[in-house]
Amino acid sequence: MGFTPTLMSFLRSNYPLFLKPLALVAITLAATSLFTSFVQRQTPRRLPDRPMAAAARSFVLWLHGLGDSGPANEPIRTLFTSPEFKHTKWSFPSAPHAPVSCNYGAVMPSWFDIYEIPVSAESPKDEKGLLKAVQNVHAMIDKEVAAGISPENIFICGFSQGGALTLASVLLYPKTLGGGAVFSGWVPFNSSIIECISPEARKTPILWSHGMADRTVLFGAGQAGPPFLEQAGMSCEFKAYPDLVHSITNEELKSLEAWIKTRLKSSS
C-alpha cells in the first residue's frame, strides 16, 4: 500500500504491511559460455567497439506503497514494450524506514506517516513528512532535467502512499511535467494548497486509477481527486475499476503505457 506526505495538509492514514501492490517474481537465468583456445601463429583480431548506449529521452519515476520497496516493483517496466520506451530511463527508489502510526509505531519503508486505515477523504494528514518527501522527489526530477531530459518527458507514477506522494510532487513542481499517474491514492492535503500550485504545474495532466472495492484507501478518497484538481484548474482522467481491491493490475499498467505514449514529446 502506499501513502504520501505533502505541503499544507497532508495525510495520515493506512494499513499495516499488506501493501505490496504486486506479487512479482523475477527469474534469473544464468548462461555458461565455453571458450576454446587455439595455439596458432597469427595476429589476434581486434574486437569491434561496443556501441555507446543511447541517451535517455524520457524518464519514469515509480513510487511504491507503504511497507514495500523500489526493487520489488522493477518488473513493472517489463510491461512497457512499445518502441516509444526504448530510450526511457526508469527509477524505482525505496522509501526510508520510519515509524508508522497506523501500524502502532512499527518501523517500515514509508514516505511519510499515516495515522489511520482505511484512508478516507477526511483522514488526517502528515504535512511535515509529506513536504520532506516531495523535496526528495523534486531532487530526483531536477537531476534528470540537468542530464538533458525535457520536463515534459518526465512522468511520476505511484501506488497508494506512493500515489499520494506522486500527486503532491507533481502539483508542487514549478514546471510542467509529462504527467502524474496516481494508482489507489488520495489527496494528501487541503484545498489551501491550490494557491501554491504554479501556473506551469497546472498544465501537467493527471491519470487517476482506483479500485471500487478498495477497503484500504477507500474509493471515496480516490473520487475526491478529480474535483480537487478541477478546482485547481487541472485536467484529470479518472478510471474506476469494479471489484478491484487495494492492488494494481496489468490492465491498469497497460493503460498507463498508452497514456504516456500519447504524451511523449518526439523533440526530446
Active site residues: 160, 214, 246
User: By the 8 A CB rule, do 145 and 40 touch?
Assistant: no
| Phi, psi (deg, nearest 5) at residue 100 | -120, 120
One-letter amino acid identity for 79? L
Residue 108 CB neighbour total at 10 angstroms: 16
Nearest to 3 by CA among 261, 221, 224: 221
Burial class (CB in 10 A: 0-12, 13-18, 19+), 64: buried
Rounded CA separation 175/173 (Å): 6
One-letter amino acid identity for 261? K
The CA dihedral of 217, 99, 18, 191, to the nearest 10 degrees, is 10
What is each CA distance from 161 to 55, 88, 165, 267, in whole angstroms?
31, 24, 6, 33
Nearest to 185 by CA among 211, 220, 159, 207: 159
Size of the chain in residues: 268
Cell readout for 195 is 494557491
CB contact set of 243 (below 8 Å; sequence gap of 6+): 211, 212, 213
